[in-house]
Structure 1
């Protein structure tokens, strides 16, 4: 397979669907795929392509009718997208709402209009951004549009642990919420920080008063300012954490 190739898929519920290879095959941690991945059945044929085009027309029509019905019924919801099954027997209507919505009348009206089984699926702002698509600050396509299928909680604590600027503009994604990528390396930062003394922490074995002035988490190093005015950089492996919580050099200066 290669990027841009149209393929036919078998979804987790056993239904046939279509898709496009978005990227070349690459390793991705299983924790980002909590939902079962679809199975690639074959490369899409010309007949499949024609059916896909006709489905897109149906989806556009259903979206426009759905928006009109929602307005007529004065329902407190915003229609985001409509996805038809490859069989054309089912349509999933994705919507956003701040609270619960009684959409039974809407479902009945849509089912009668299009002679399909209608499923209403409420989504949050992060999933909404994923459907809309776009590029992140990194220049790549949004993670929520490509591989993230379930959204775990993100907190400002994750940014603090990674020594990032707490500027809301820099930490917010296209959805207006904290970026999902704040979670990607967080566990590594937490693990490394446990091995390193914190800023302003005294370090023994330097033959003088020595204080940590900088942490480099990615390199797993700290910079230590000596009382003499000199500075030394020490890797985590060069430090020993004592039972009282204090740190000392594995190879003390002057020995």
Structure 2
């Protein structure tokens, strides 16, 4: 995979555990919506991050780094990015990219910052200007973990074929969404998922449970479920 030098355009703390990082690439590398890049932090192993921006955005690469809890690797990555004007990334990686050649209804499922993977796929699919049905399920523990929910809801005014379903494990008063896990929300909404293209990102255990439940209990096509975490189950 080609390496790419990028300038640090901005590092924004969205919450106390989630950061939005924007990079300016010195040259353009072709990638597909849903792929990821790797970043080497000094002597540490390569860290992988989904590309939240779309292939059409040639002047910026956006990453969402963090989660409900920051681990030492994530802390190292953020500190490294904050303390350097340029970084070297390796991209593109991953085979769970958006299959644009089909028109199956799309179900996009994200847990936490797994939304970065879903975001690139969503905006790429919308840019096609087709009437392909798209349902987005985004789950988190608390409302701050759904950090782009307001922006997503605004899309509903423009795209009649788009549906957004926020899901919280710990909802607060006034939350206009679902309570529970993101997988339970999908299971409640669909009795049969044959003929749907499903893209999913989040913790490996979540993805594993989703794959098993959606295939065994809802008849989803295993060949139409995509997610890089599936390689580890």
TM-score, with structure 1 as normaliser? 0.20
Structure having the higher strand fraction is: 2
Relative contact order, higher structure (CA 8 A, sep 6+): 2
TM-score (norm 2): 0.22
